[in-house]
Amino acid sequence: MLGFAIPLWQLISFALNSELYSFILLIPFISWYLVWTKREKVSPTPLNNGRMTAGFFTGGTVVLLVYWLVLRSHLKRAEDEYLAVMVVALLLLFYGVCSRFLGSPFLRENVFPLSFLLFMVPIPAVAVSRIDAFLQGGSAVIAGGFFTLAGTSYLQDGLVFQLPDITFKIAPECSGIHSSLILLVTSLLAGYFFLSKPWKRAVFILAVIPLGIFRNGFRIFTIGELCVHVSPRMIDSPIHHKGGPLFFALSLIPLFILLIVLQKSERRRVNICPEDKKLTKPNVFHG
């Protein structure tokens, strides 16, 4: 039991000291709430799927063995990668316990809440750097487009922008990855609660990618314009270093509009379907 507690405590400490992963602390509580909302639909049962239970326990054990026998020496200094491996193993074992004691019907009914716990897994540093690079490049393109539309004179060399009186570079910490992750979590929950069609949920979730890039590009453009028209010192202003929540809130507006559009299309379909069935019902001749 102590062996399980140590990685979990390390994960809590890691999340408390990480701006990128601070949201991890909320994930178990959100997952528990989602399970609680389904308490009247299905109850825990001793009936379980032996193969499913064995599969989860085997998967968790294999991940732990691979870590101890192969990866341990390589991941000692990379806390995020070590925790990623350990949390995946613990989640697999946890799913096995749920399968054994709560039953297969309970697991099937709570696939989303239990899968949501995967957001507790830190993204390995290698993947984070690639995501950062993707978001930086996309944000630079969008910011350049905004500067062009605004008629602002600028020179661009990759991630470097030269504006009147100031030159700046889009750094990895300005990629917007933290806000994009929070936006992804938000879209998953909103899609789960308010959309019923899987493909519409997918469209809604995938919209987070261009929306996150657009939001960050607009943020870069805004800071650049303030540096040009107010003062170059705006590069060190609170809107740069602490303005993330403001632009995140702005990005929720188009996401909310998309959700309403997808919701209304589902309601129209529900209202139209009965009439469609009447129109397409074949005539029966009695002769």
pLDDT in tens, 173-192: 888 899 999 999 999 999 99
pLDDT of residue 73: 67
pLDDT tier at 4 (50, 70, 90 boundaries)? low
pLDDT of residue 161: 93
Residue 73 has φ and ψ, to the nearest 5°, of -70, -25
pLDDT of residue 48: 66
The rounded distance, in Å, linking the Cα atoms of 85 and 66 is 9
The H or E element containing residue 166 is strand 166-169
Residue with more model confidence, 68 or 229: 229
Q: Which residues, other chains included, contact 39 with Cβ-Cβ below 8 Å and sequence gap of 6+? A: none
Please say if the pLDDT value at position 165 is more than 80.
Answer: yes
- Cα distances from 73 to residues 61, 81, 96, in angstroms, run 18, 12, 28
Q: What is the mean pLDDT of the chain?
A: 85
pLDDT tier at 279 (50, 70, 90 boundaries)? very low
